[in-house]
Amino acid sequence: MTKDTENLGRAVEPVRREPFDFARWWDRVGILVVLAALVVFMAVFAPNFARIDNLLNIARSISVNAILAAGMTFVILTGGIDLSVGSIIAVSGVVAVIAAIAGVPAPAAVILGMVVGAACGLANGALSAYMGLAPFIVTLGTMTFLRGLAYTITAGQPIVSSALNFRDIGNGYFAGIPVPVIVMAIVYLVAWFLLERTRYGRHVYAVGGNPEAAKLAGVRVKRIITSVYLFAGACAGLAGVIFAARVVSAQPTAGTGYELDAIAAVVLGGTALAGGRGRIVGTLIGSVILGVLSTGLILMNVPFFTQLLIKGVVIILAVAIDSLKQRTFSFRLPLFSRSAPPRS
Amino acid sequence: MTPSPPPPLLRLEQVSKRFGPTLALNNVDFDLHAGEVHALMGENGAGKSTLMKILAGNQPRDTGRILMDGKEIDIRSPRDASAHGIAIIHQELNTVPDMTIAENLALGHEPLTRFGTLDRRALGRQASEKLARIGADIDPQRRLGSLSIGMQQMVEIARAVSENARVLVLDEPTAALSRAEAQQLYQLIDQMRASGVGLIYISHRMEEVWQLADRITVFRDGAHIGTARMQDITPPDVVRMMVGRAMGDLYDHPPRTAGEVVLDVEGLAGNGVGPVSFTVRAGEVVAMSGLIGSGRTEVGRLIFGSDPREVGTVRIDGRPSMPSDCVDAISDGIGMVPENRKEQGLFLGHSVEDNIAISSLDRYVTAGVLHSSTIHAAVAEEMARLRLRANAIDLPVKSLSGGNQQKAVLARWLLRDSRLLILDEPTRGVDIGAKREIYEMIDALARAGKAILMISSDLPEAIGVSDRLLVMRGGRIVCELVSDATSEEEVMFHATGTAGDRAPQGHGDPQ
């Protein structure tokens, strides 16, 4: 560009910064404050909570859900949803265990599980992006289908293999840290790098922010949409392998309802269900909050039924805060509010 | 006649409204009599829609009084507005297309049987009565969405009438109507005026305002500029009041010289338009004019690869450009500012930086990693060029004014350094100051050797900003005009394909 186009125009719009903006503050640190409060509370009231071995246990127990939630974050950032990840856990676990029993070496069995998950995700993504079907419906369908597939392959019975060659990915330790925790850390590093440091990540946000504008700005929207489901599927496949390793068996019922925990972690972490807004770090914190909450409540001997009550309230509270900060005039529906009061 | 005239039906005194840094309404006065059509005109951003939102109860006013029949009233919600007999017919209709006409008409106060269930018979009967009152002959059991936009609007007016509206605000009601439908609407407006309803008529069409209105009020930049009876004022007066200066110098630019052909379109067709053939040279601004639906936007989208082509060739700098999607078009050196900024142009919740950088990210990648600081600096440079405040770079783009939002979309292609820019309605919804800046930038871009294809519905703008004009009608380019040697009448003649009250002047007739 030459000098001709420099310094056009005159008017400068004053941009006022609000002295304190709750929304921005909450976006940045709100969820961390919740986590810190929760940890302090548990450290004080839950016996043995603050012991290293317990903290490592929490880390291990959240790893499956956290890995699922990492993939789910990509999907939700594009404005989609993936209900099938829980069923993918079962299918990939079953396939990996059967392969291991058939003599496939451990690393290959693990990768096979991931590939199976990625293939399921690819189907979700292609159906959503290229057939234009609603992701909610597509993944509701594949959720049911894949669960059925897991039951069919196993004839409804768990396949137990006490000599499972990849059991260490669920139960082992490396340098004193549980292996699934290390795997989780790697998944989050990769996810963070993709979202924050690559063009791909910006495109994911763009698709969620406004698909039409993204298309006209030069984003291959369909490809991006397909890829996030593929990534979510691969994450679910990996989670399925870890789950199978931990229980040292292939369970056709594995992962039932896990998709909802993953969604809860994502939303707790501040990612908008409408897409385009959120952070992968938030998802990790969201998963930790859910994990700390359940472990702490167990340590405090809170009955399981009550735990569910508390978890439900926490999720709704988190979303309520999220929607409160989004509050604008747009929540009014002129369609209905325009009419006069009902006549008697 | 009573000795002292009755108070006006509706009166606004010193009403102000502020949105963040912008004063959308600055102590405006406005009054409306029963049985009157009062036209409200002004540029986009003049404050018309803010006034409308206050009357509708969608936004509270900050200061000032609203009086009805001389008594002060308070409008805090749409329900209040409706209770006071104020109804608004928005450009975007507030109806449910999948429900029947009868159901739409009864929305919010459906008749019930004594068992508390919906009384379908009464519903149909009431609907027929309501439609009869406005003289519309439509079957109330039809699905609303099956009607034309004009008929849907009639249904909405019928609803307002049935709610005993005393003040009816119509926001550009004929924008989407055919000529026959508009005539029907005019009749209905006359009817309502005769029955004592006060109508506020917002429109950008001069001839329509002169045909319908009794009085006219002009707003500019949130201020009340003047009110006059129609017989005391002429259209040029109104334009002057609206823009605050004579129109000429708004578009003024020194003469430009065109260079090599950048865009060469030959026999291009698809998406229901074409075939069209034309060229745009470096350093040249070519405007595409024509009525809505004449295919201007479609041509832009065919070139940009956002709609599939059927036949034809497009060359950029002599190289064929055959994009299968926008990604290819962008790498061929084409940039497009789409028609609808908010729906197609921007990521409203994302930062200004992200909005500007999105199409150029591939230039700032090494080994897969984005250079955040380089991007930041490059975006800041483009923002400075366009006089976008630097501290806005991290703010969500939705917090900017319409003009600055448009600059952000433009900055996207400046950063990309595209050879050809397709600007579809580049100043729609932009205030006059930003308009001027956008015109200056278009001129500067042309001088820097860009080829610019501008699609505009605003005739003075299309003529004033461009070097050449392509007029489209029915998906074809019907003629090419030299901007310095044409007039609005001549363009309209070609765009409509019908002679007006006088024969068109030939080429070379100066303005």
**Within a domain: residue B310?**
yes
**Beta-carbon separation of A6 and B385 below 8 A:** yes
B311 token code pair: 């036949």
* Nearest-angstrom CA–CA distance, A71 and A204: 12
B276 token code pair: 């069209």
pLDDT at position A342, please?
A: 37
The reply to whether A216 touches chain B by the CB within 8 Å rule is yes
The residues with which B269 forms a beta bridge, in sequence order, are B311
The reply to whether A158 touches chain B by the CB within 8 Å rule is no
pLDDT at position A26, please?
A: 63
Nearest to A8 among B95, B350, B387 (CB): B387
Overall domain count for chain B: 2
The reply to whether A51 touches chain B by the CB within 8 Å rule is no
Q: ipTM, 2 decimals?
A: 0.79
State the distance between the two ends of chain A, measured CA to CA, in whole angstroms.
69
pLDDT at B508 over 70: no
B308 token code pair: 């599939």
Asked if B223 and B284 sit in the same domain, the reply is: no
pLDDT tens for B299-326 read: 999 999 988 899 999 999 999 999 989 9
Residue type, B268: L
**Within a domain: residue B386?**
no
* Nearest-angstrom CA–CA distance, A31 and A36: 9
Distance between A189 CA and the closest CA of chain B, angstroms:
14
Residue of B75, B370, B439 to mutate, interface with A, max A Cβ within 10 Å: B370
More confident residue, A203 or B121: A203
pLDDT at position B496, please?
A: 77
CA B164 vs. chain centroid, Å, equals: 30
Residue type, B225: I
More confident residue, A115 or B175: A115
> Is B242 within 8 Å of B46 (Cβ atoms)?
yes
pLDDT at B329 over 50: yes
The reply to whether A333 touches chain B by the CB within 8 Å rule is no
**Within a domain: residue B398?**
no
**Beta-carbon separation of A1 and B385 below 8 A:** yes
Chain B contact set for A220 (CB, 8 A): 325, 327
Asked if B142 and B228 sit in the same domain, the reply is: yes
**Within a domain: residue B503?**
no
Asked if B108 and B60 sit in the same domain, the reply is: yes
**Within a domain: residue B131?**
yes
State the distance between the two ends of chain B, measured CA to CA, in whole angstroms.
49
Per-residue pLDDT of chain A (344 residues; tens, 9 = 90+): 343 443 443 334 444 444 566 666 666 677 788 888 888 988 888 888 888 888 898 899 999 999 999 999 999 999 999 999 999 999 999 999 999 999 999 999 999 999 999 999 999 999 999 998 999 999 999 999 999 999 999 999 999 988 888 989 988 999 989 999 999 999 999 999 999 999 999 999 999 999 999 999 999 999 999 999 999 999 999 999 999 999 999 999 999 999 999 999 999 888 888 899 889 999 999 999 999 988 888 888 899 899 889 988 988 887 777 666 655 433 333 333 333 333 33
Domain boundary among B246, B279, B298: B246
pLDDT at position A20, please?
A: 60
Residue type, B24: A
Asked if B218 and B340 sit in the same domain, the reply is: no
Task: Collect all residues with Cβ–Cβ distance below 8 Å to A21 and sequence separation of at least 6.
Answer: none
Nearest residue to A211 via CA among B461, B256, B344? B344
pLDDT at position A137, please?
A: 95
Residues 254-283 of A with CB under 8 A from B: 276-277
Nearest chain B residue (CA) to A208: B347
Nearest residue to B477 via CA among B459, B455, B460, B461? B455
More confident residue, B378 or B203: B378
Asked if B94 and B203 sit in the same domain, the reply is: yes
Asked if B164 and B285 sit in the same domain, the reply is: no
CA dihedral A157, A158, A163, A167 (to 10 degrees): 160
Distance between B300 CA and the closest CA of chain A, angstroms:
12
> Is B286 within 8 Å of B467 (Cβ atoms)?
yes
Asked if B439 and B492 sit in the same domain, the reply is: yes
pLDDT at position A247, please?
A: 92
Nearest residue to A114 via CA among A5, A23, A243? A243
Nearest chain B residue (CA) to A212: B344
Chain B contact set for A202 (CB, 8 A): 354, 357-358, 361, 370
The reply to whether A197 touches chain B by the CB within 8 Å rule is yes
Asked if B426 and B479 sit in the same domain, the reply is: yes
Residue with tokens 């084409």: B334
Q: Could you say which DSSP state residue B13 is in?
A: E
Q: What is the average pLDDT across B185-190?
A: 88
pLDDT at B271 over 70: yes
pLDDT at position A322, please?
A: 65
* Nearest-angstrom CA–CA distance, A115 and A241: 11
**Beta-carbon separation of A4 and B444 below 8 A:** yes
pLDDT at B455 over 60: yes
Res. B246 pLDDT band, cuts 50 70 90:
low
Asked if B336 and B226 sit in the same domain, the reply is: no
Name the average pLDDT for chain B.
85
**Percentage of residues in chain B having pLDDT higher than 70:** 93
Handedness of CA A216, A220, A221, A222 (dihedral sign): positive
**Beta-carbon separation of A337 and B79 below 8 A:** yes
pLDDT at position B134, please?
A: 77
pLDDT tens for B354-394 read: 999 999 999 998 888 999 899 999 999 989 888 887 678 88
Asked if B61 and B74 sit in the same domain, the reply is: yes
B123 token code pair: 């519903």
> Is B170 within 8 Å of B91 (Cβ atoms)?
no
> Is A229 within 8 Å of A244 (Cβ atoms)?
no
Residue of B77, B95, B167, B387 to mutate, interface with A, max A Cβ within 10 Å: B387
Asked if B328 and B473 sit in the same domain, the reply is: yes
Pick the CATH number of A28-322 from 1.10.3470.10, 3.40.640.10, 1.10.240.10, 2.40.10.340: 1.10.3470.10
Q: What is the average pLDDT across B37-62?
A: 85
pLDDT at position B498, please?
A: 58
The reply to whether A218 touches chain B by the CB within 8 Å rule is yes
pLDDT at B282 over 80: yes
* Nearest-angstrom CA–CA distance, B154 and B183: 12
Give the 3-state DSSP-derived string for B223-280, with helices as H, strands as E and coil as C: EEEEEEEHHHCCHHHHHHHHHCCCCHHHHCCCCCCCCCEEEEEEEEEECCEEEEEEEE
Question: At CB < 8 A and 24+ separation, what contacts does A57-62 make?
Answer: A57/A295, A58/A288, A58/A291, A58/A292, A58/A295, A59/A177, A59/A178, A59/A181, A59/A184, A59/A291, A60/A178, A60/A180, A60/A181, A61/A291, A61/A294, A61/A295, A62/A184, A62/A287, A62/A288, A62/A290, A62/A291
Chain A contact set for B388 (CB, 8 A): 13
Residue with tokens 């039409």: A212
Residue B282 sits in a domain whose CATH number is 3.40.50.300
* Nearest-angstrom CA–CA distance, A182 and A178: 7
**Top-confidence range, A87-96, B95-104, B461-470:** A87-96
pLDDT at position B416, please?
A: 92
**Within a domain: residue B292?**
yes
Res. B245 pLDDT band, cuts 50 70 90:
low
Nearest to A15 among B83, B109, B389 (CB): B389
pLDDT at B106 over 80: yes
Nearest to B20 among A16, A198, A334 (CB): A16
**Within a domain: residue B282?**
yes
Residue of B50, B326, B401, B413 to mutate, interface with A, max A Cβ within 10 Å: B326
pLDDT at position A162, please?
A: 81
The reply to whether A325 touches chain B by the CB within 8 Å rule is no
**How many residues would you count in chain B?**
511
Nearest residue to A87 via CA among A147, A141, A158? A147
Nearest to B349 among A6, A209, A220 (CB): A209
* Nearest-angstrom CA–CA distance, B185 and B182: 5
pLDDT at position A336, please?
A: 34
**Within a domain: residue B255?**
yes
SS3 of residue A219 by DSSP:
coil
Give residue B425's domain range.
250-345+419-496
Domain boundary among B189, B220, B246: B246
Nearest chain A residue (CA) to B53: A334
Residue with tokens 């719009």: A13
Nearest to A8 among B107, B326, B440 (CB): B440
Q: Could you say which DSSP state residue B222 is in?
A: T
